């Protein structure tokens, strides 16, 4: 089992561009979570998805951010028109049951 795979590991975008972050959960895991971590801060919940469904998006900004977890393929976190404040590490995690969560290595987004 390859674990939770996130790509890219590092992503640089200019202000106004779009960022697409990918997450492939562990085999057999149908629960996917996205967390954002600002430098020297904690993990902030963004969104919780199961296959084709958004269960809870209460932590995700209403504008510019969207997430999906299609029937086939990885989960995608999409940030449109990025701003400097979007610079952070974005961690994906997956779980078979909503509790035993395994994290990916994260995508470090830098907006220049």
Smallest separation, CB 15 to another protein (Å): 25
Closer to another protein by Cβ: residue 13 or 36? 36
Residue 100 has what DSSP assignment?
A: S
Task: State the Cα–Cα distance between residues 14 and 25, nearest whole angstrom.
Answer: 28
CA proximity to 60, closest of 74, 78, 81, 75: 78
Closer to another protein by Cβ: residue 20 or 45? 45
Which residues have CB under 8 Å from 26's CB, separation 6+?
1, 2, 3, 4, 94, 96, 102
Residue 85 dihedral angles phi and psi, to the nearest 5°: -70, -10
Smallest separation, CB 79 to another protein (Å): 20
Binding site for another protein (CB under 8 A): 31, 33, 35, 41-45, 48, 50, 55-56, 58, 91, 97-106
Closer to another protein by Cβ: residue 30 or 66? 30
Smallest separation, CB 56 to another protein (Å): 5
């Amino acid at each position: 089992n390859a674990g939770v795979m996130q790509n890219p590991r590092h992503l640089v975008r200019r202000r106004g561009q779009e960022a697409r972050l990918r997450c492939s959960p562990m085999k057999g895991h149908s629960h996917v979570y996205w967390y954002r971590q600002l430098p020297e801060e904690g993990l902030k919940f963004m969104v919780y998805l199961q296959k084709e469904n958004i269960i809870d998006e209460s932590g995700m900004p209403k504008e510019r951010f969207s997430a999906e977890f299609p029937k086939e393929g990885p989960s995608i976190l999409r940030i449109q028109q990025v701003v400097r404040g979007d610079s952070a590490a974005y961690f994906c995690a997956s779980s078979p049951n909503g509790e035993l969560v395994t994290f990916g290595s994260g995508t470090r987004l830098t907006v220049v």
